[in-house]
A and B are shown apart, each in its own frame.
Chain A
Amino acid sequence: MATIAEPASAAPKRRRTAAATRELQTGRLVAAHVWVGVAAFAVACLLGVWQMWARSPIEAPYHTASNYFRSVTLHGISMAFVLTTFFIMGFGYYVAETALRRPLPGLKIAWGAFALGLAGTLMAALSVISGNASVLYTFYPPMTATAWFYIGLVLVVVASWAWCVLMIVAMREWKAANPGQAVPLAMFATVANAVMWLWTTLGVAAELLFQVIPAAIGWNGMVDVGLSRTLFSWTLHAIVYFWLFPSYIAFYTMFPRAAGGRLFSDTMGRLAFILFLLYSLPVGLHHLFMDPEHSNGFKFIQMFLTALVSVPTLLTIFTITASAEIAGRMRGGRGLFGWVRALPWDRPMVLATGLAFLMLFFGGGGGLINMSYGMNAMVHNTSWVTAHFHLIFGGTVVIMYFAIAYAIWPSITGRNFANMGLLRIQLWTWFVGMMVMTLPWHWTGLQGQWRRVAAFDYSDPMIAAWGPWVIVSLIGGILLAASALLFVYNLAILHRSGRPGARRTIDYAQAVHPPGRVPAALNGFGLWNWLVALLMLLAYGYPIAQFFIDPPPQAVIHRVAG
């Protein structure tokens, strides 16, 4: 790894700059995005608790199959599409202004995209609430909802494309103004995510525009189910990394600073983000391991590439642990483990990072089982998988969204938190709730408890034995919902009260060796786009082409809209 090891002479430029008092140009934009995401999140958490109640041995109100699947659809859409997309867009705008220290190009376009995304969200949400779109967030053609549902989601995606373009333009303009300099890591990672998202959404966009929406409107009476699943799988894995990117950005560029230390290696950060871009895309077939329509050979290749996508996460674990060690030792920690205790765990960003890693341990471990080719049969579509992605999404992703929101909110509202205790309580209840909810799911999932059902027959002795575990996980769910509401309160309170005089910007972590001149490969995405294209061509080329070379029989559309 021949990177130039420049002496760390460059004095930290950002240190002790006079507190910026000017309001952030993107402040209102960021707040609007975050609030849309958070509103969807709060609703989804409450629905989630009701769903767990409905599945438990305890009688739940409003419990019909129709209500249940409406609720599951709304929960999935709100969490996976609305919370994530809006939060990521908002955070991206924030990073573009604060890390590049330039105004965001195209502020008006950003507001336009926001309005478009919001309109799409409302369209999709109303379709689900009216009972015309109970197809869950993974769609399942030949079941077909009202066209408004899909068109609404397409609008959200189009809004996110506008964001991607703005991020790329912002980085280019900065590079033109700062020739030869390394793009700040936070922005480099944000653009990596934007580039990856453009690739990622191609699959679902093709599925919706060419297969599902024509069927929903009534132009097509039939659909090639295998093709639609394959196109969705193109999106299905990388979308998780789209959600995860902000968490990793916080690990690399916010946590070391919050801990009072330095980032161990800026180069490794760039490399990790690039590896995510490369290997999170050509692996989606691992969601179709149990499907008949793809051959063992292509499943094997994508399993192999999936094993490689664990590499950047495992590298990150080391780099961030080392960064924590630096901070701990700077604060007087000694010995092999003393630095752990010396870390300022009372700071939300530090606490959240620690808890996120604990949940990543269980979530990632579950993921390693899931991706293991034939071994996937042991757990596919059981509660094990539900536990896995709730730990990754609700654990690593969302807890870092909390931490990011807490970190940036003072600079947006101009007020500092008066009661940090509430922030810590919120993070801890989220962590405890998530573990209490998901550990029983792993256990029942291994015994074969299947997914996506509105009710279990607890008169069956085997299912009855799961009952107590289901109730334990329901308690975890209630804790999670309480934590979610506390999060809303914590953010809302800062708009009205709190200690005024907060700085209107934040500082990102410095590396032990701040990057000097870096190779073009670590400062842009030209090379990597070609390699992504090559990987996708070889990993997905034939698996998609086979549906056109030798078309399978199609299935009749089943309408889920009255």
Chain B
Amino acid sequence: MANNEKPKLAMYWSSSCGGCEISVLNIHEHILTVDEVFDVAFFPCIADFKTKDVEAYPDDYITVCLWNGAIRNAENEEMAHLLRKKSMFMVAYGSCAYEGCIPALSNLTSKEATYNTVYKDNPSLDNPDGIIPKTSVKVAEGELTIPEFYHTVKSLDQVVDVDYYLPGCPPEPPQIWAVLQVIVGALLEGTPLPPKGSIVGVTNVAVCEECDLEKNEKVISRFYRPYEIVPEPGICLLDQGIMCMGPATRGGCEALCPSVGMGCRGCYGPMPGVEDQGAKMLSAVASVIGAGNENMEEAEIEAEIQAVVDTIADPAGTFYRFSMAHSLLQRAKVNGSNGKGEA
């Protein structure tokens, strides 16, 4: 890199809500420093770039690429490969890129069912001919193509090599600034970089540590959905039967959600050493179900436990809200045509 040239910054948006792009602004006046330090090389959200511009860059031209979004279709994957090739550092920015996030919840169903919902079976639709996307259509003028819509949503690192991860939905401002600082520091002052594959801007302790609510020994005899209960202030939400992923979720967010009475949803991903965040949370939650004991008949125990289990409406959606693509099973086995993972 020539001394007079500023490092190049890219940010790309694949399958995600776009909140991550906006979150960059959350670093407030630091954005000016970013502007000072970096040249923007590719940032479709804020400036007009074309893919061909990127293709024209030499390899590793971009210093750091903040990639947000999951890999939903062939275009996402193609862009991931392209930007990987052109970037020195590929950062999985936000939960979608890191572990699939909300888009990956569609892994619980089939492509067909997703299409049905989006293009056919939806009250706000007007699609009398039942037209659904096809990768290639011949029209009078010739052939039209669109990217292939994948069956399974993947995280960024399931298609390209990723240098750093920034979890969060979206990542918290100090975290964003931290990762940029690290790279800038390395580039400008030669400070050592964290090892490749590091998850940046998180702690190594679960959210509960940062949460001020009072926690007690847990015995939960029913679970509540958020609308079913007004939480008692000051008391651990999980203790009150409100699903809170805090115990199974990596800290660093300062327990934002629990502190305003909403259970942690798990966006910072699993703790180090955990292979599957959802399974671990499921295990923890089931362990403290206050039903059944060793003096009861088996059928009675089962009935009691079942009653509590019945109050957890959607375990897969709850425990894998952010980590479906990174989970052990990654998706549902879909039988039949309704697209539900029905055994």
User: Do A and B truly interact?
Assistant: no
Which A residues are closer than 8 A to B by beta carbons? none
